[in-house]
């Protein structure tokens, strides 16, 4: 309530839902996204529901963009309470075919972007007496399908970055945690031009111990909890939100 929250990648997908969830609770939400159409659409949606939101065009891998986004947040709202490092991308190809530029792009957006947003937001949290940072990792930090090296490595990096930041920033009352989502179905959470009904099968749902595929709300609710007073003893942790998939042993 009255908190200032930055959601990177807040235009589409999980970030779109996180931004709306915090706005519904009365937060002022900065949407930092590279996709102007998606970002402006979400800003306008939040405002149409009586919420307070500001879209700032941001590529989280570019230092100038991140500095500008933090400056605009401070100009508009005067402080930053919460940072959700959600922007993330994957790469195609295999180790045999993937150009090194794709490795660099994934690491730069997912890992460098998470560090850089934290770096420029942390001084404002420190000056304001504290704050909360949440980094969106993935269960792919712990297990893999074939051909996901840049993505998996970036997410493993985010887990390590999270405990490292949690210790460094503890002296300034900033808690830092990560969330590792499993399979989250986002097709209904794309910008309206691209949104579509999910094509999920019974098998998709039933392979999850929780009995269903995940929704963006599952991640947004975990963010709300980790930002709340009830979670004040939790820092440096990774919360797995995957319907039980990573603890399920599979024998064929």
Q: Give the helix ranges, DSSP H, for 100-148.
A: 100-106, 113-127
> Closest CB to ligand NAD among 14 and 46?
14
Q: How far is CA 172 from CA 53, 70, 125, 160, 198, in A?
A: 27, 18, 8, 20, 43
Q: How far is the CB of 10 from ligand NAD (least distance, A)?
A: 7
- Going by C-beta distance under 8 Å and a sequence separation of 6 or more, which residues neighbour residue 252? none
Catalytic residue, from 120, 151, 171, 251: name it.
Answer: 151
> Closest CB to ligand NAD among 73 and 138?
138
| Residues at the interface with ligand NAD (CB under 6 A) | 8-9, 11-15, 33-35, 38, 58-61, 86-89, 109, 136, 138, 181, 183-184, 186
Active-site annotation holds for 171: no
Q: How far is the CB of 118 from ligand NAD (least distance, A)?
A: 14
Q: How far is CA 236 from CA 25, 68, 119, 157, 159, in A?
A: 25, 28, 16, 13, 9
> Closest CB to ligand NAD among 147 and 173?
147
Q: How far is the CB of 101 from ligand NAD (least distance, A)?
A: 14
Q: How far is the CB of 233 from ligand NAD (least distance, A)?
A: 25
> Closest CB to ligand NAD among 107 and 136?
136
- Going by C-beta distance under 8 Å and a sequence separation of 6 or more, which residues neighbour residue 51? 20, 23, 24, 26, 29
Asked if 140 contacts 110 with a C-beta cutoff of 8 angstroms, the reply is no
Q: Hey, which residues are catalytic here?
A: 151
């Amino acid at each position: 309530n009255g908190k200032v929250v930055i959601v990177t990648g807040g235009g589409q997908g999980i970030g779109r839902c996180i931004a709306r969830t915090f706005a519904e609770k009365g937060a002022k939400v900065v949407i930092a996204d590279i996709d102007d159409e998606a970002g402006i659409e979400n800003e306008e949606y939040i405002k149409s529901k009586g919420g307070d939101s500001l879209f700032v065009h941001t590529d989280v891998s570019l230092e100038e963009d991140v500095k500008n986004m933090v400056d605009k947040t401070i100009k508009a709202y005067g402080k930053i309470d919460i940072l959700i490092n959600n922007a993330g991308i994957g790469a195609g190809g295999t180790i045999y075919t993937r150009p090194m530029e794709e490795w660099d792009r994934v690491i730069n957006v997912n890992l460098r972007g998470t560090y850089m947003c934290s770096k420029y937001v942390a001084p404002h949290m420190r000056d304001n007496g504290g704050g909360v940072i949440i980094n969106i990792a993935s269960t792919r930090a712990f297990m893999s399908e074939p051909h996901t090296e840049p993505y998996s490595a970036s997410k493993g990096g985010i887990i390590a970055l999270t405990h490292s930041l949690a210790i460094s920033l503890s002296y300034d009352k900033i808690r830092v945690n990560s969330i590792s989502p499993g399979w989250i179905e986002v097709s209904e959470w794309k910008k309206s031009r691209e949104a579509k009904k999910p094509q999920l099968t019974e098998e998709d749902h039933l392979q999850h111990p929780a009995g269903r595929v995940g929704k963006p709300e599952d991640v947004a609710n975990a963010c709300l909890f980790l930002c709340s007073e009830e979670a004040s003893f939790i820092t440096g942790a990774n919360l797995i939100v995957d319907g039980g998939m990573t603890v399920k042993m599979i024998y064929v």
